[in-house]
Amino acid sequence: MLEQNNPSNIDINELKIELTMRKSGKCKATITLRYKNMEIKGFRITDSNFENSRGQNLWFQVPSYKTGAGWRPMFWLDDPEEWKKVEEKIWDIYEEKKKDYEQESPIEKNLEQVEEAENEMSPMSIEDIPF
């Protein structure tokens, strides 16, 4: 029974990948992985100065934490071949979502960016206005 729930023995067909495209900035997408009763958040696809396995200047980041010596991953699979299958599935989903996102009209994209910027702006008070 324990072997069946071992995350190192992932059935890729049961792995659910939730990918959300980001509108602007270095982060292009955020990803949540769901497998059976486990949910892992914090995966990202970001711009990179180096090419990935598909020849894109994008980097797939796993959730990680900062140490004195750099960054340490918070998620990994013991079997590199299984991990490669998971990563390829994520890249496939990213490519599908990217096509859908690029097909949105420019007006819709601009409206979303304006709304995003408005949400990030802090409200001003009367004291903030110079007289």
Whether 95 is covered by a domain: the verdict is: yes
Whether 127 is covered by a domain: the verdict is: no
Whether 55 is covered by a domain: the verdict is: yes
Domain hosting residue 30, numbered range: 12-102
Residue 73 per-residue DSSP state: E
pLDDT band at 62 (very low <50, low <70, confident <90, very high): very high
Whether 118 is covered by a domain: the verdict is: no
pLDDT greater than 70 at residue 115? no
Whether 4 is covered by a domain: the verdict is: no
Q: pLDDT (tens digit, 9 = 90+) per residue, 79-110?
A: 888 889 999 999 999 999 988 777 765 556 66
Residue 39 per-residue DSSP state: E
Whether 7 is covered by a domain: the verdict is: no
pLDDT greater than 80 at residue 17? yes
**How many domains is the chain partitioned into structurally?**
1
Q: Give the predicted TM-score (pTM) of the model.
A: 0.69
φ/ψ (deg, to 5) at 72:
-120, 135
Whether 29 is covered by a domain: the verdict is: yes
